[in-house]
Amino acid sequence: MRVWGCICLIGLWASLAHASPALPGDIIDDLNRLQTQLRDAQYASVVTQATQQATRLQTGNAADRWASALYQQLAANALARQGQPGDAANRLAQARELAAGEQAQAARWLREEASLRRTAGQTTQASTLLAEWLESQGTAAPAADIWKLTRWLADAQRWQEAADWLERSLSQTAEPDATQRRLALVIYQRTQQTDQALDVLLGGLDEGSDATHWRQAAGLAQRAGQPGIAAALWDTAWRLGRLDEDEDRWQLINLHMAGGTPARAAEFLERWLEAGDIVRDETTLRLLANAWHQARDKSRALDAWQALATLSKEGSDWRQYGQLAFVWGQDERAEKALSRAQSLGDAQAAEWLATLEQSPRHSL
């Protein structure tokens, strides 16, 4: 509150120096006297005397009304220092009405009134006044004040209005800081602007980002319909050691499979199998076989399917391995696999063997 009081005092004497209505010497002397009392913390006396003078002069000529406005400002300053921001804001509102011809000073009071309304808990009115002041400043409006209004609106959960002002905030900020990024992220998420939220997160990610931010970015990428980006983010976080839990390992595989990079998933699986980090069971080998299959790596896919069928001893796995070998022109492997499937009782294996025997390739 002390800082705000200093602003008011500076505004008062700047107004005296630049305002067009010339004030009588006795009025200037009286304003000086009240300013001294204000500095001496005689707040109640300043409020009483300034109010009396403001009331007496408010219906006079232009100079009288201007003096009345300045007295109201002094009263506002004293009230603010007494911890009465709402009453102080009311006095500045009256000062603005009296100083209608002094647009520059009225604008300064408008901005100060907005802050006082906010301090008094009058959040809706505070946001309205600050927005009015920002609009009056046009392109000269300070970015810090635009961010302030954006934050106020977000605090009030007025998300769409906050999003509108956020666009102005970002347009005037070359590189948002961490606090501004967090605010932008919340607003974009609340207004379901997933792509923009993802851009904000990506812009703030680096090697020092923690697991929470990497997970959040990957999740947003998924919701934005960009599984490839989600997979790349998870992959990067895994390599940086930010994600190292067992469930993170399998999420990495799922994301690569969904994101169009199954070969990357297969490479991880093979590496982990070789290192003994994961169990060599049917589930893992089936995942590996499907990954190489989706990647269209014929040799590795067939080897993986063969390893799976050998482990599972299921006729359906031998038959699927044989089908894939036949489609890819590996007739010898296909025949052995389908014969094994038939011996294990797979009902479809015989039909595939017949198809293989009738194939023009088989007769060559």
Residue 362 is predicted with a pLDDT of 59
Residue 10 is predicted with a pLDDT of 43
Q: Give yes or no for residue 8 having a pLDDT over 70.
A: no
Lowest-pLDDT choice from 10-19, 58-67, 270-279: 10-19
Residue 9 is predicted with a pLDDT of 47
Name the pLDDT band for 7 (thresholds 50, 70, 90). very low
pTM of the model: 0.76
Lowest-pLDDT choice from 48-62, 140-154, 197-211: 197-211
238-276 tens-digit pLDDT: 999 999 999 999 999 999 999 999 999 999 999 999 999
Residue 358 is predicted with a pLDDT of 83
107-124 tens-digit pLDDT: 999 999 999 999 999 999
CA gap 301, 290 in Å, rounded: 7
Q: Give yes or no for residue 13 having a pLDDT over 70.
A: no
Domains and CATH numbers, the chain: 1-131 (1.25.40), 178-260 (1.25.40)
Q: Give yes or no for residue 363 having a pLDDT over 80.
A: no
- Report DSSP letters for 336-363, one per residue: HHHHHHHHTT-TTHHHHHHHHHHSHHHH
Residue 57 is predicted with a pLDDT of 95
**End-to-end Cα separation, the chain, in angstroms:** 95
CA gap 257, 268 in Å, rounded: 12
Residue 121 is predicted with a pLDDT of 96
In this structure, are residues 67 and 15 in contact, taking their beta carbons and an 8 Å threshold? no
CA gap 76, 92 in Å, rounded: 6
Under DSSP, is residue 156 helix (H, G, I), strand (E, B) or coil? coil
CA gap 184, 148 in Å, rounded: 12
Region 214-235 average pLDDT = 93
Contacts of 69 (CB under 8 A, 6+ apart): 54, 94, 95, 96, 98, 99, 102, 105
Q: Give yes or no for residue 75 having a pLDDT over 60.
A: yes
158: left (phi over 0), alpha (psi -120 to 50) or beta: beta
